Chains A and B, each alone.
Chain A
Amino acid sequence: MSKNKVLMCGNEACGEGAVIAGCKFYAGYPITPQNELISYMAKRLNETGGAFVQAESELAAISMVFGASAAGERAMTSSSSPGISLKQEGISYLAACELPCVIVNMQRGGPGLGNIAPSQGDYFQSVKGGGHGDYKLIVLAPMSVQELLDLTFLAFDLADKYRNPALILGDGLLGQMMEPLTIPSDMQPKHYDKPWALTGCRDRAPRIIRSLLLGEGALEEHNRHMQEKFRTIKETETRSQSFHTKDADIILVAYGSVARIAKAAMEAARAKGLKVGLIRPITLWPFPDKTIEDSCAATKKFLVVEMSAGQMVEDVRLAVNGKAKVEFYGRMGGGIPCEEEILERVEALL
């Protein structure tokens, strides 16, 4: 066994990805099912000379991240669904001020206090804005403990590259399950100059970080600039995986933990001789709509599987744009679809 092969839960792997990425600040407020991440950051930032604060609330935590990011350091917070709702105010401010940071949401059942079982009910909130105003987060959806490390590392890079908050959208299942993972020894965080960071105005003009733009047309201009940035991100950073989509009679679309289950269902179907494919978005925003649209040439039917009442299915429908039928199967409130359930749906649709 390689020296850097370890057994960790997803929340810890996420924390380790952050530490390797050079995260120097973490603030958070405990909420199940992401508490292993808070504890991990408390320990690791102490070891690596970063700063950890257990905040008095989610609102304070995201604002502390705002401060640390404004001061030019890589910063992170994490929470789970109800806590992310509370953070939305700060997330909107971070996006408006173009401050990079990484936010982790290990989703739980909702709405409201819900339960602590895995869910994917926060898709809309994650990819459509969530807080007030016109903005987008870069949303990455890991489906394994390994990917929690890899994509968290990537999220810090993308956040700095585009000066935009990045969100890791996992769920309680991914956060708490344990899997062996490899920590690559050559993971080196990229360095980005931050000519906007507040460091004290020694030998330079003072800097201001703000989202209040009162001048005539100034805010519209800033919004135009942000939308231009979002277009660049969409063109450059859209990521997905496709399996057996070239000859598929039906293509499953699923992300995160459900993508794993859908993949198993696809493999079971293929073993039975059924032509089933899978598209698994890795970035939920930007959404891989081109990949989905292009696959309409080979298939006439999609089945979107989510642990929600049907949220990502709307983006699939937009991408398909009437060129194929889009069916949906979802479970809510902590219900997890199993392989057989998905296979049964597929067989009914074929």
Chain B
Amino acid sequence: MPNPASLRMVDNHYCAGCGHGIIHRLVCEAIDEYGIRERVIAVAPVGCAVIAYDYWDFDVTEAAHGRTPAVATGIKRVRPGNIVFTYQGDGDLAAIGTAEIVHAANRGENITVIFVNNGVYGMTGGQMAPTTLAGQKTSTTIYGRSLRREGYPLKILEMLAVLPGVKYAERVAVNSSHEVLRAKRAISKAFKMQIDGKGFSIVEVLSMCPTYWGMTPIQAADRIKNEVATFYPLGVIKSC
């Protein structure tokens, strides 16, 4: 399998079994597929993927935590001919940046969002995320997330899908080769939506965090299938 031209062939800093490496590759494959590497401007997140720009071989900027879609909005509005995407974790997109993602989606910004949901804050040490499942143990929910105390896991895609500005929303996973291929198709489609000027597209990728789930990579991949995807169903949520 040839390496994507958009992906730098360097060692990465991710933990064993983490999904970021796979998702980076899928994004880069999609960019290569459309020959848009020289048009891409990416917005890297705060969180585990904070130095994604060390792995991607195209123009990248950072954003303050959660402000990622706002930065992308500023870029896309002055450079509508460029392909602009954000790469965000669940803390970035579903907690501190909830306002930014809702309003960028609702404005129908012609950008692509790659939303990596692993149910915890990895970079800061495995605290509860808005997406943490009920009962899941994290460093801030040591007896497991209590729905009464911490509220319910947030289904961002289902929320965003009701907005007319959202043209494409699909949830995928990277826990098996079969799911990785489906994830690849979804990410490609999300970029195609932007290339065609259709409007806001988002792909949520259920990803593994073996380190803060306290599991082996194989156990973590199994957990996505057996637990995470039962709460966050895979598939197209909206496509216009």
Residues of chain A lying within 8 A (CB to CB) of residue B43: 67
Q: Choose from A25, A199, A203 the contact partner of B77 (Cβ within 8 Å).
A: A25
Partner of A90 from B41, B67, B83 at Cβ < 8 Å: B67
Closest B residue to A211 by beta carbon equals: B62
Chain A residues closer than 8 Å to B51, beta-carbon distance: 212, 214
Size of the chain A interface, CB-CB below 8 angstroms: 41
Distance in angstroms between the alpha carbons of A30 and B56 in the assembled complex:
37
In the complex, what residue of chain B is closest to A57 when comparing beta carbons?
B99
Which of A61, A90, A209 has the most CB atoms of chain B within a 10 A radius of its CB?
A209
A24 close to B79 (CB less than 8 A): no
A71–B80 Cα gap in the complex (Å)? 11
Is A201 a contact of B70 with CB atoms below 8 Å?
Answer: no
List residues of chain B with CB within 8 A of the CB of A203.
38
Asked if B100 and A60 make an inter-chain contact with CB atoms under 8 angstroms apart, the answer reads: yes
Tell whether, in the assembled complex, residue B79 and residue A71 are in contact, meaning their CB atoms are under 8 Å apart: yes
Alpha-carbon separation in the docked complex, A89 to B183 (Å): 34
Knowing A53-B77, A68-B78, A206-B59, the reply to whether A63 touches B71 (Cβ < 8 A) is yes
Q: A60 touching B103 by the CB < 8 A rule?
A: yes
Report the interface size class on chain B: 35 or more
CB proximity to A under 8 Å, residues B46-64 = 50-51, 53, 56-64
A247 at the interface (CB under 8 A from B): no
- Are B59 and A212 touching (Cβ within 8 A)? no
Contact B77 A51 (CB under 8 A): yes
A67 with B38: in contact, given A73-B78, A207-B59 (CB under 8 Å)? no
Closest residue to B39 on the A side, CB-wise?
A200
The smallest C-beta distance from A274 to any residue of chain B, in angstroms, reads 52
Determine if B184 is an interface residue (Cβ-Cβ < 8 Å). Answer: no
User: CB-nearest residue of chain B relative to A208?
Assistant: B53
Which listed residue, A25, A60, A61, A206, touches B60 by the CB 8 Å rule? Answer: A206
- Taking a contact as CB atoms under 8 Å apart, the answer to whether B39 and A63 are in contact is no
Given contacts A71-B41, A71-B79, A209-B61, contact A56 B103 (CB under 8 A): yes
5 examples of A-B residue contacts, CB within 8 angstroms: A89-B64, A199-B82, A200-B59, A201-B40, A206-B59
The 8 closest A-B pairs by CB, nearest first: A67-B74, A63-B70, A63-B67, A64-B74, A56-B103, A68-B74, A51-B77, A67-B71
Q: A60-B103, A64-B73, A209-B61 are in contact. List 20 more A-B contacts (CB 8 A).
A: A57-B99, A59-B70, A59-B100, A63-B67, A64-B71, A64-B74, A66-B67, A67-B70, A71-B75, A75-B78, A198-B61, A199-B79, A200-B40, A200-B82, A201-B40, A202-B39, A208-B61, A210-B53, A212-B50, A214-B51
